[in-house]
Amino acid sequence: MPRRSKFIIAANRLPAHRVGDGRASRWVRSPGGLVSAMAPVLAKHTGCWIGWDGAVGRASHANVLDGLTLAPVGLTRGQVDAFYSGFCNGTLWPLYHDAIVTPQFHRAWWEYYRDVNARFAAAILRRAARRAMVWIHDYHLQLVPALLRQTRPDLRIGFFLHIPFPPEELFAWLPWRAAILRGLLGADLVAFQTEASSQNFSRAARRWTNGEGTDREVKIDSHTAHVRPIPISIDAATMESLAREPEVIEMARLIREQLGNRRMILGVDRMDYTKGIHDRLMAFEELLSERRLSVDDTVYVQIAVPSREESLGYREVRREVEERVGRINGQFSEPGSVAVHYFRRSLSHRELAAYYLAADVMLVTPLRDGMNLVAKEYVACRHDLGGVLVLSEFAGAAWELRRALLVNPRDIEAMKAVIIQALRMPTRERRMRMSILRVQVKRHDVFEWADVFLEELGA
């Protein structure tokens, strides 16, 4: 029997991954604000994190890394295909992101979703001490709250959805909508990135279950689920201090020099059809072909982190993006002045900070996004008050970062105009906007987010 914990986090992914093979392999902590925010809470409560280690087959043994107990859940090949690539990323992900690609509904995938959620619930139950606090993350595990409540009403259960919760009309497509809503309503607290998602959820819950109440409280079977918007953030101080390191500042200078000291536009995204990378490239291409921009003095750098290549729509988005980059470079690049620099790989936080510091304009233009932490990271890094953030109206971050240049990413003319506006923005206005954005991001960091969540949960 594993040691019982007073505080448990469950997420599809563990905050660490294994590097190396066989006996020589070891755990390495993955970068990310969520891990940093949770680390002190987990340490204080001798907590544990339950999640998938990303491997196919048997789970590795539980392990302690930097004081953090990691309890891996193993997924078989069938579960990776039908649960992770299938139901999570082929049904829920597109449905929750405005059906940008058409979600697929397969009964077999749903069976796997139920099974894997039950396995996670069982793993939590094995480890949860009496009256433990359990914090469940994201769309992969929406059935877990109710599964826990059925057997262990003593637990305090919180759920946070990192992606948007869709409007009722879209959510209604889901053949298993009532089961998912009932799953979530098992939590004491169900929290979302925005007010809109929060309302979408409570309305759907009242419509398709026997739950009753308001936008903030849904009562079902003598239990009350509290519903709140609690927008996530980043570890802004750490990101900023990284961007203040002399080596990072030097790296940023070198990047600019290597790009010919041209004005630099930057995009940093997972390679995902929700991110609007292709539309962004189209806007840049049109600006070049209309000669409103020239490769002599402007360059666009796109960093695309490989993602979910086995899931619906991901190979297609990669092909589209790469074809577009090829087309733009074929037509507009000059010797020594490439129009678009495209990197398909992930970068360390240190390298990212250098790119953020180097960029005159940061384009964060997803078609739909729960929050988008890249926007907040960019702001945290710009201690020099340089740089302009262009932000999609459809990113959760737009609810907070009002002084960014907000744009509808499907409106290519508006995108073009905003890129020009950003490049030409007078220094005074740029500095003023960036200072206001920085106050917001520094004040509301990931530690505050975790505190608010735990306070609402009654920790």
Q: Residues 11 to 30: which contact ligand G6P by CB under 6 A?
A: 13
- Which of 312, 339 has the CB closer to ligand G6P? 312
Say whether 43 sits in a helix, a strand or coil.
Answer: helix
Q: Which of these is catalytic: 53, 235, 360, 369?
A: 369
Residue from 86, 116, 134, 138 binding ligand G6P (CB under 6 A): 138
> Tell me, what DSSP letter sits at residue 41?
H
Sheet (strand 189-192) strand order: 63-65, 68-75, 48-56, 5-13, 128-137, 156-160, 189-192, 223-229, 217-220, 212-213
- Which of 308, 416 has the CB closer to ligand G6P? 308
Give the number of residues in contact with ligand G6P, rule: CB under 6 A.
6
Give, rounded to a whole angstrom, the gap between the first and last alpha carbons of the chain. Answer: 26
Q: Which of these is catalytic: 45, 106, 162, 223?
A: 162
- Which of 163, 185 has the CB closer to ligand G6P? 163
The alpha carbon of residue 2 and the mean position of all alpha carbons in its chain are separated, in whole angstroms, by: 31
Residue whose entry in the numeric block shows the structure tokens 């390679």: 271
Q: x/- string (CB under 6 A) for ligand G6P, residues 164-203?
A: ----------------------------------------
User: C-beta of 307: minimal distance to ligand G6P in Å?
Assistant: 6
User: C-beta of 261: minimal distance to ligand G6P in Å?
Assistant: 34
Rounded to the nearest 10 degrees, the angle between the axes of helix 246-258 and helix 349-358 is: 60
* Bridge partners (DSSP) listed for residue 212: 219
Residue from 42, 163, 312, 379 binding ligand G6P (CB under 6 A): 163
| Beta strand pairing call for 68-75 and 388-392 | unpaired
Nearest-10 Cα torsion for 286, 376, 381, 40: -150
Using CB under 6 A as the binding rule, whether residue 162 contacts ligand G6P is answered as yes
Q: Residues 281 to 320: which contact ligand G6P by CB under 6 A?
A: 307-308
Using CB under 6 A as the binding rule, whether residue 344 contacts ligand G6P is answered as no
Q: Examine the residue annotation and report whether 162 is marked as an active-site residue of this protein.
A: yes
Round to whole Å and give the CA distance between 288 and 290.
5
- Which of 92, 434 has the CB closer to ligand G6P? 92
Using CB under 6 A as the binding rule, whether residue 442 contacts ligand G6P is answered as no
User: C-beta of 308: minimal distance to ligand G6P in Å?
Assistant: 5
User: C-beta of 122: minimal distance to ligand G6P in Å?
Assistant: 21
Round to whole Å and give the CA distance between 405 and 407.
7
User: C-beta of 138: minimal distance to ligand G6P in Å?
Assistant: 4
- Tell me which H or E stretch contains 244: helix 236-244
Q: Examine the residue annotation and report whether 66 is marked as an active-site residue of this protein.
A: no
Round to whole Å and give the CA distance between 282 and 268.
16
Round to whole Å and give the CA distance between 273 and 282.
14
Query: Which amino acid is located at 171 in the chain?
Result: F
- Which of 308, 382 has the CB closer to ligand G6P? 308
- Which of 36, 209 has the CB closer to ligand G6P? 36
**Catalytic positions, written as ranges:** 162, 369
Contact set with ligand G6P (CB under 6 A): 13, 138, 162-163, 307-308
